[in-house]
Structure 1
Amino acid sequence: MLSRNNIPKISTHLLSTKVFIEKFSTQHAQNQFDISIPPDYSKYHPNIQEISSHLQDLSPYPPHSPYINPQHYYQNIVLNDWCRRKPHPVSLRQLAAFGNALTEEKILSSANFVRLELPIRIALIIKELQTLPFNVINNYHLAKVYESYYDIFDRFRKIPAIKTLRDNEKFCITLQDVLTDVNLLNLPNLLMGALECCILDALPQKELDGLVSSLLRARISRRLILEEHLSLTENFNVDPNKPRSQHFIGDIFFKCSALEHLEISSNNASKFIENLYPGIKMPKLIIEGKKDLSFQFLTSHLHYLFGEILRNSYEATVKHFINSNPGPHDEPQPVKVSIINNADHVAFRFSDRGGGVDIKPINKIWSFGKDSELAKNSLSNFHKLPDLELTTVSSRQQNLKARESLMNTSVGGIDNNNVKEATLINLIQRPAEYKLGLGLAMCKVYADYWNGDLVMHSLSGYGTDTFLKLGKLGYSDNKLQLDRV
């Protein structure tokens, strides 16, 4: 029942409500309180509108994705069929013997091997990605990698049997497309996704390293198989009867002079450090041991390994030199490289007097799992790269710009298909500002892939010895270098 004592309170409330409505109407009339006008959120972040437009990309089913959608289950039934098939390990000796005498039959056989082998290997990688925790595979960059792999799988599984050389020509165009346009952004997206997982602590370091390393190894094998078929096709078209030596190992591997490639890498490393410390004298390179050593290897990988190790040695040496308050005529200590030739492998010891590395975090040098602050810095440098559009690449010209942009980082210079010896001399000299902190971790994976290793020993306050071991290609007929799917 309404009490008489409550009437004054109700009247007062009604009166205040009336006043508020009148005031609201006045403000609305003056466009001072128009609820149809969105609030100005730019005071919170200048790019808030652009950021908010990408929120839908982080949903379980991004609207732009042709594969990550509610119907993906039915697509996955096709994938499962390919996952039940077995990949075919290949040794470099088998690869070499296959290219000794080229015939039309061999070219078509090689093409059909690649046509069936690639979707099997890609299917197994996709299955591995599907087993990751949701907050890992739902990462924007890792989802892009997943989509790219599924796109490659979907395209290749539909390619019919290659029966003529004309069919092979069309097939080679598709392979070139995979090596450049389609697959171009997988590497930066993979690494950026790993860095974001570090920042969010989404995956333990050991599991993250295992994931990135396995995807990188699989990537190397796939690219080698594709590039070797492209090279065989090119050689067949030019001269199918070209004689080969008994030590021939594949058309994409070259006889590499250790001395020549060390000098090239040293020159590039010096220019890189000069950009960081202009006006400072650079360390000299002293090469000892088996200077006349030549061995067959993939030149882009060798150049990458030498370059990253020397850049780190030079930078540490120059920093230590500056901190020692040098006189005007003083010079930094030299960097020494010892070349060792063994029956089954070659080895290089890089010795510097750069003050050493703290022993506790030394194993983290080989890890993709950075602490949160280092991961943020690396991620920030990725975003600063010019012309690296990580969403879509719509033209061949944009592809070339993106490739050049990647060449400016510690993840560039290892994916050049059809690399020739002379190309190394003219490789793009990368600027010093794009440091991602991933170079040595990448080197560890590549050294391990080639049946070698990368080890570092450090004496705090003195210097560091870095040992690079590389297995000789084709040394063992039974060693399946290309077995890592």
Structure 2
Amino acid sequence: MLRTRTLSTRNILRPTTRLQSCREIRTLASTYVPELLPHEQEPFDVTTTPDYTKYHPKISSISKHLSDLSPYPQHSPYINPQHYYQNIVLDDWSARKPHPVSLRQLAAFGKALNEDKIITSANFVRLELPIRLAIKLKELQSLPFDVVNNFHLAKVYESYYDIFDRFRKLSPIKSIEDNTRFCHDLEDVLTDINLLNLPNLLMGALECCILDSLPSKKLDELVSSLLRARISRRLILEEHLSLTHNFMKDPNQSRSHNFIGDIFFKCSAVEHLNISSDNATKFINKIYPGVKVPKLIIKGDKDLKFQFLTSHLHYLFGEILRNCYEATVKTFLASGPGPNDEPFPVEVQVINNQDHISFRFSDRGGGVTDIKPISKVWSFSKDAELAKLSLSNFHQLPNFQTLTNSIKSTKTMKTLARKSLMQTSVGVLDENFVKEATLIDLIQRPGEYKLGLGLAMCKVYADYWNGDLVLHSLSGYGTDTYLKLGKLGAANHDDKLQLDRV
């Protein structure tokens, strides 16, 4: 009986409780929201669609992307409830041991080519690529949910998984004909599938800054790690493509004793500095039309020639010189120059050491005054407001906007990459640039679009090549930027076995 009474009492109290709650809601509504009272409401026609534009003028276009915010976006072929079972495959590959490659091994392998070596190289790439991607995919999966589910970082994840899934299913390469088909797949990775990973990675990092999704140190470690891994994978792929191309062109080609790899070119320091200076001048002319541009004065070892990857060299030189020129012109204009006055020149000191090459860029641009502490220039983590500005500029970059707004075929992607590349003087240097069209687009982006990530990326690229990037600034005077690059032919670098570094 006691149990029945208790249940009965509860059943009696429930309607009363709901009724009291309803009365409280009406009381609150009449107190704080008088327009909700029945006698003041306008007649509502259920057959008409409400006007939601009062909440946001572009709400219709925004609402189309609401499904992308769910844990399993509708557009994603991989981020779905079944992905757990796909992870079983991923676990097997991520448990395998990757094989770091030293420059000495690279040089020895490419000095004398034959059909067996080309097939061996192809099978190495066929297995190494999915292993390395599987490791990075597992690292991405270990990130906090709001980081890995970021729209741009999810795109990077999907691209990695797509390449991993394609290459893990490839059959062993047994002939030159098999290798020819395999090289077509590698070209797709370099110029199509992987084309937007770099901008998506950087935009994802900026959104993490805005949302405070990851501490600064961890964000820097994540982006730097993914960038270094990206460089290593691309070098392995590009080297095999170059070996295949040269073998098919001339199977009996002889190599010099100091040969390193087919993708590395003999670079003249003066020539490449002048090319980057010309591009920086065009950049300044667009921002400050009619204003005199600083002259470039090169000192030191002007005859220096060294083997390097040209696209990376131009990115490093380009970003540093753009900053030097822009700071110098701003200071020059602020001084109220006369018609015959000229801005201070930018000086570059070229130093050739036993195991590395150094470039000291000196400008009279007033020093770095807007970033404190100065070490922040090396960080991908930005203040929320600065990150919003950088992200907005990223979305307005002409080439990236074209590629992100529509899905294009591989052939169209390659055409766009080549078109973008040939608009600059660096395009005539070598065909290898076409594979790094995204990096070239960053170099020649319009001057009005500030990204704030150029020096941070340069730091990663310099570190990858056993070098460093250091900046010394004197407020009110100028800045010295020291770029150090490991000499690729140096004995103490050739034998280093590192997974994501040369």
Give the structure-2-normalised TM-score.
0.85
Instruction: Tell me, yes or no, if structure 1 residue 372 matches structure 2 residue 384.
Output: yes
Give the match for residue 85 of structure 1.
96
Partner residue in 2 for 1:311: 322
SS of equivalent to 1:42: helix
Change (3 A) 1:42 1:397: farther
AA in 2 matched with 1:480: L
Deviation at 1:159, TM superposition (A): 0.3
Verify: 1:464 aligned to 2:488, yes or no. Answer: no
**Residue aligning to 1:15:** none
Instruction: Find the residue that maps to 1:99 and give its secondary structure.
Output: helix
2:77 aligned with 1:63, yes or no?
no
CA contact (8 A) 2:103 2:495 kept: no
Aligned match for 1:385, one of 386, 391, 397: 397
Residue 13 of structure 1 is matched in structure 2 by: none
Q: 1:178 aligns with which of 189, 205, 220?
A: 189
C-alpha displacement of 1:406: 8.0
Other structure's SS at 1:388 match: helix
- Residue 145 (1) aligns with residue 156 (2): yes
Q: Distance in 2 between matches of 1:405 and 1:393?
A: 18
Taking every aligned residue pair, what percent have the same amino acid on both sides? 73
**Would the alpha carbon gap of residues 390 and 57 (structure 1) be closer, same or farther in structure 2, given more than 3 Å must change?**
same
Retained in 2: the 8 A contact 1:91–1:474?
Answer: no
- Name which of structure 1's ranges 32-41 and 164-173 shifts more when overlaid on structure 2: 32-41
For 1:45, the equivalent position in structure 2 comes to 56
Secondary structure at the aligned position of 1:280 is classed as: coil
Secondary structure, aligned partner of 1:326: coil
How far residue 480 of structure 1 moved from its aligned partner, in angstroms, is 3.0
Q: Distance in 1 between matches of 2:233 and 2:389?
A: 31
Cα distance in 1, alignment partners of residues 107 and 164 from structure 2: 27
Residue 185 of structure 1 deviates from its aligned partner by 1.0
Counterpart secondary structure, 2:54: coil
Instruction: Indicate how the Cα distance of structure 1 residues 103 and 353 shifts in structure 2: closer, same or farther if over 3 A, else same.
Output: same
Q: Report Cα offsets for 1:274-318 as digits up to 9, x if no partner.
A: 111111111111110000000000011101100100000000000
Q: Secondary structure at the match of 1:399?
A: helix
1:155-213 Cα deviation digits (max 9, x unpaired): 00000110011110110000000001111111111111100000011111111010000
Q: Structure 2: how far apart are the matches of 1:87 and 1:210?
A: 20
Structure 1 position 452 matched with structure 2 position 452: no
User: What's the counterpart of residue 284 of structure 2?
Assistant: 273
Q: CA deviation at 1:481?
A: 5.6
CA contact (8 A) 1:91 1:482 kept: no
Counterpart of 1:356? Answer: 367
Q: Does the 8 Å CA contact 1:179/1:417 hold for their aligned counterparts? A: no
3-state DSSP class of the match of 1:373?
Answer: helix
The answer to whether 1:443 aligns with 2:443 is no
- 2: CA distance between counterparts of 1:405 and 1:242? 32
The TM-score, its normalising length taken from structure 1, stands at 0.88
Query: 1:432, 1:406 → 2: CA distance?
Result: 16
- Structure 2: how far apart are the matches of 1:457 and 1:483? 28
Q: Aligned AA for 2:381? A: G
Aligned to 1:347: 358
More helix by share: 2
* Counterpart Cα distance in 1 of 2:223 and 2:406: 23
2:128 aligned with 1:117: yes
User: Would you say how many aligned residue pairs link Structure 1 and Structure 2?
Assistant: 452
5+ long unaligned stretches in structure 2 = 1-36
For residues 225-374 of structure 1, the aligned pairs below 5 Å read 225-358=236-369, 360-374=372-386
Amino acid at match of 1:418: N
Q: Is the contact between residue 421 and residue 433 of structure 2 (CA under 8 Å) also seen in structure 1?
A: no
The C-alpha deviation readout for 1:349-368, integer Å capped at 9, x for no partner, is 00000000137331111111
User: Where does residue 34 of structure 1 map in the other structure?
Assistant: 45
Sort the Cα spacing of 1:346 and 1:40 in 2 relative to 1 into closer, same or farther, 3 A: same
- Name the SS of the counterpart of 2:89 in structure 1: helix
Mapped to 1, the partners of 2:52 and 2:228 lie a distance apart of 45
Deviation at 1:400, TM superposition (A): 4.6
Q: Is the 8 A contact 2:192 2:414 kept in 1?
A: no
Q: Matched residues in 1 for 2:421 and 2:448: separation?
A: 13
Q: Which amino acid letter does the alignment assign opposite residue 395 of structure 1?
A: S
| Per-residue CA distance 1:330-349 (angstroms, 9 max, x = gap) | 11001000000001000000
- State the AA in 2 paired with 1:351: S
- Matched residue, 1:218: 229
**One-letter amino acid of the structure 1 residue matched with residue 496 of structure 2:** K
Does the 8 Å CA contact 1:366/1:440 hold for their aligned counterparts?
Answer: yes
